[in-house]
Every structure is written in C-alpha cells, then in structure tokens.
Amino acid sequence: MKRSHRFKRSIKPKKSLDIKLTNSNNEQDITATTSMTLSSSIKPSSSLIRANSNLKPQIPISSSSLISFEKSSILSQDFFQIDALDLAPRLLGKFLRRDDVVLQITEVEAYRPNDSACHGRFGVTPRTAPVFGPGGHAYVYLCYGLHTMLNIVADKEGVGAAVLIRSCAPVCGLETIQLRRGQKTEKPVLLAGPGKIGQALGISTDWSSHPLYTPGGLEVLDGPEPENILIGPRVGIAYASPEHVNALWRFVVADSPWISAPKNTLGPPP
C-alpha cells in the first residue's frame, strides 16, 4: 500500500524541478544536474543582488548589510543549540540558501519541550526523531498531506524543540522561486506562509534531519538583525492547552510585508 502510494507520487508532475535522492550530505551533484534546467536564471553570485534589486525590501536594513550577504557566513551549530524561545527571534533576518535561491527569514514560531502544541509531545517517533536530535538540523514534515513545513531544530540533543519558519522575503533566485511556487508574482503571497517556504526551497520530507550548518544542500547564513519585532500567539494550534495557545511564541519582523495571516494578533514585546 505504501509502495503504491510512493509510486503514484513519483510519477505525479511536480512543479519543483529539484530532486533529492539521499539524506546524506552528498546530494550536491544531483541538485547541480537538475538546476541546469534553470541555468538561465542562475548568475554569478556577484550579480545576484543587482539582478534582483527590484525585489521589494523586506527588513528595514541598510544597503550595506544587504551587500554583506555575499560575505555572510554559514552559522555554526552552536548558534542553534539554545532554547527555541531564544533561537526563534534570533533567526529573524537570517538567510536560508539552497542553490540559487536565498530567502530572508521574516516570521517564525518556537515549539518547545512540554509544549502541548509541539510535535515532540508524543515522544520520539520516526517522524519527530530529528526534533530530539541536536540543534542545527532541519525538521521537515508534511502538513494536511500537502505542504512541507520547514523547522530548524533548537537546543541540545534530547531536548525536543524546534523553530517553524513561517515566512520569508525573497533575496535571490526569484525566477526559481516563482517556478517552484507556480506563481509569477513578487507580492507577499509568494512567500508568506509556512507551506510556501518549503515549496519555494523545493524540499521534501526527505530533507528532515539535514544539517544546516554545513555547506551545501540547505544552509542558514548569518544576516542583519531586524530593528524591531512583533510577537503574538502561534497560528493553527487550537488543539493545544490554553496555556500554550496563549503563549506569545510567534515572532515577526515589524514593518515587513512578508508576514502570514493573521496579523491582528501581533504586538510589540513588553
């Protein structure tokens, strides 16, 4: 039964042109092969920023800090090994990179141990095992049978915490993003919402547990800290206990248009 499902899935036409065959670190050649299809949209990195300079500004950041993206370094694993509640706001402004696509994180949510909304609440299962691993890895799951949701695992091994990436602003690779999303727009509808991030990055659940602190595949790069942030309750977790439904563990970049709904629950931190 599972087999037939997989088969059916594999022959389904996909918007994404990217294929990942293994869970290890040596998928580079594969993405390189598939991205040849997109070669027209791939440019030398020095011209990437300029080529996409018509993209709407996301975070109120100085142009000098945007230039710094080219020099911005991949974050080390230490960066992620802290409480998800601390990690979540620190991820705002950071960059997600996969091949020619670079996104800047604008909205996140923290999920923590003893949190009735966290996927780790049932303990270690095949799906949630990465959540209990050391911070700095991806946790990718399928939501509503349709959407791949990207989380960044937080804290030390065994804790069980993660940060959901809910929205991003496009920085590079707009054409690839639009191709994968199936929408030719530059408006926030392109990347505001967690399912859209997974789709824009072209990742599947096979990417779960992928290390984000090593070059290649999917990376998190350092980026400018936003000037102001807003916080609010997390989205879509009505099933959780009131304590966790009301917890203000959603963080967004203030004044960014790249934020998912609802926005009227957001406010300044205390």
Partner DNA sequence: GAAAAGATTAAA
Partner DNA sequence: TTAATCTTTTCC
Smallest distance from the beta carbon of 260 to DNA, in angstroms?
6
Strand partners, 148: 142
CA angle 210, 212, 213 (to 5 degrees): 130
Kindly state whether residue 151 participates in binding DNA, applying the rule CB under 7 A: yes
The residue among 98 and 250 lying less far from DNA, judged by its C-beta, is 250
What gap in Å lies between CA 82 and CA 37, rounded to an integer? 39
Per CB under 7 A, the list member of 57, 60, 215, 236 interacting with DNA is 236
Specify the residue for token string 């807003």: 230
- SS3 string, 111-147, reads ECCCCCCCHHHHCCCCCCHHHHCCCCEEEEEEECCCE
Q: Determine the interface stretch with DNA among 63-71, 147-155, 169-177, 225-233 (rule: CB under 7 A).
A: 147-155
Cα–Cα distances in angstroms (integers) from residue 115 to residues 120, 122, 186, 231, 244, in the given order:
8, 10, 36, 18, 7
Smallest distance from the beta carbon of 165 to DNA, in angstroms?
8
Kindly state whether residue 5 participates in binding DNA, applying the rule CB under 7 A: yes
Instruction: Print burial letters for 82-98: b (CB count within 10 Å at least 16), e (below 16).
Output: ebbbebbbbbbbbbbbb
Q: Determine the interface stretch with DNA among 87-95, 113-121, 215-223, 242-250 (rule: CB under 7 A).
A: 113-121
Per CB under 7 A, the list member of 102, 103, 105, 118 interacting with DNA is 118
The residue among 66 and 115 lying less far from DNA, judged by its C-beta, is 115
What gap in Å lies between CA 234 and CA 50, rounded to an integer? 36
Q: Determine the interface stretch with DNA among 13-21, 34-42, 60-68, 235-243 (rule: CB under 7 A).
A: 235-243
Chain positions contacting DNA, by CB under 7 A: 2, 5, 8-9, 109, 111, 117-120, 122, 125-128, 131, 139, 141-147, 149, 151, 162, 164, 181, 183, 189, 193-196, 205, 234-239, 260
